[in-house]
Structure 1
Amino acid sequence: MFNELKEIRRGRGLRADDLHERVGLSLRTVCGVTDLDHPALVRRKIILQLTKLSAKLPSDLHLAATVALGLHPDAAGEFLDQRVAWLANTYDRDPRTARRRVDNAFKILAELLHDAGMRDRKSGSYSPDGWYVESLRGFLRLDQDLPSLTEERRIIAAVDDLDELILSMSAPRHPEIGDEFKIRAEMVYGGEIVAEEQVSSSHSRFVVRLPAPLTLGQAHNYSIEFTSYPRRWMRPYYVFTPLRRCEEFSVRVRYGSHAVPKNVWRISGLPAKAYEDFVPGDDALTVDRLGDISLEFHDLQQGLSYGLQWQEE
């Protein structure tokens, strides 16, 4: 993998016209490149994966990697030596030191790519679908008259000029609920709701316009708050079922110290609706004395459900 990274950093790096011809087999596999992909799609997949993984490097090595790959906006140069010279000047070191930094960065990056390849072979998690979720944090408050769910997401653009998102929320409702209650949403930060559609009585979609269009590989943080109807009419669970790639999901639920459920259990990778049996699972959870509980999930699989379920008194 290290030698394959060295090959694609030559010339203009990831901006080279012949990039699709120089990508090695291992790198193609990790980045989800197929023989049917056109050159622009090959470039997009490679940039997405390397941008994501290089962000995990220490700051000095992250700079070295992005400069060498031709991704840094200030380090222009048709040849690698030109970009390394810019890096050496930034470090205030000689070019040999700068090149060693690049090699060190690529060695670690090669290890990260290998680990990513092992995870993807297990989960098939790659999904180029306009954007994907790097992390999702949910905070569900059930201790107030009208429960609310606040989500904070960090997303990564999988295309250039991504300027809007379509977000969905489902909240299965009790048949006694009147029409005055429906799913509502309000942006906390990072976007503006410009359209909404009530697909069914328990499912709504919201179109969110971003503050500025995102470029391929660019990260963006946003938060949105949902409200629906009183707790007594809610189904006793909160689950997230990713339909696109999602790497991390965490949730905190506040029941309130005076309304702690009888039983609470984890839902970890169940098929959609399998939790509708409402039978307590084996992975029992404990609510703290303030009425809160929190969970974390990693490397989620698309189409499976993650979260928690409870049994009221």
Structure 2
Amino acid sequence: MTHAVNERGQSAPQDAKPADSSKALYGGTSSRRVTVRDIARAKERGERWPMLTAYDAMTASVFDDAGIPVMLVGDSMGNCHLGYDSTVPVTMDEMTILTAAVVRGTKRAMIVADLPFGSYQEGPVQALRSATRLLKEAGAGAVKLEGGERSAHQIELLVQSGVPVMAHVGLTPQSVLAFGGNVVQGRGDEAAQQLLRDVKAVQDAGAFAVVLELIPAELAAEVTRSLHIPTVGIGAGPDCDAQVLVWTDMAGLTKWPGRTPKFLKQYADLRTVLGDAAKAFAQDVVGGAYPDAEHSFH
């Protein structure tokens, strides 16, 4: 079989059939759950796709209706949903409850649940126990864990046991204390080579995709070309196979203490919208305009 280069510079079978738009991850018409096979085929087609976080059934249903094919119940819930200062305090109980809610609120999207800090670092057996809980109790379709070479053994056992795994390298928020903050990773030859070893390790261990967070765009492009599994970028430039954002960041609900991160594009200003709605409600109540006759029973 001969190969041609698709529009993204990736090798694709020259005699492959034209892409069926009904099978696209975003914009496809299938109502069944997105699977790892669908994601692998999107990589083969050179198809880009979006991923958003979700932490509750109502928000997840909105994103599902919008066609978002993959949702991440991220441990970012610690910062933007549970009021913690970081992702570190998030527990398995919290992750399980919120993942189950997101699953109940969706019909098509693949739901990926984070393994929180302390739920897999002890080794593969602990990782399998934690992942099994998210699949059995919450209904997740896959799990995500942080780390490259250091997490390869965990990924390998999970995959061998039938658990789809999304890996996460670059800036790994659970290790932010060790990094000394949200610092771009992979800069310099030594750091870049380590990141390349990390992505190869998680691919070889069986991960079906890998998140690349806060790394130079050129390095992310090199990684994306070198892997046969999809890359999901967040602060990793335009050449990844997919892009993910924390939904409260994307929709302008997050209140940033300083300037917003360079990679973040806000697509709405929900903080202002909700604030204005709350003020309008309060003014109506204080002024006696609500409830009026139209909103009262007689």
Same fold, judged at TM 0.5 (above): no
Q: Does 1 or 2 have the higher relative contact order (CA < 8 Å, sep 6+)?
A: 1
Q: TM-score, normalised by structure 2?
A: 0.25
| Bigger strand fraction | 1
| Bigger helix fraction | 2
Which of the two has higher C-alpha Rg? 1
Q: TM-score, normalised by structure 1?
A: 0.24
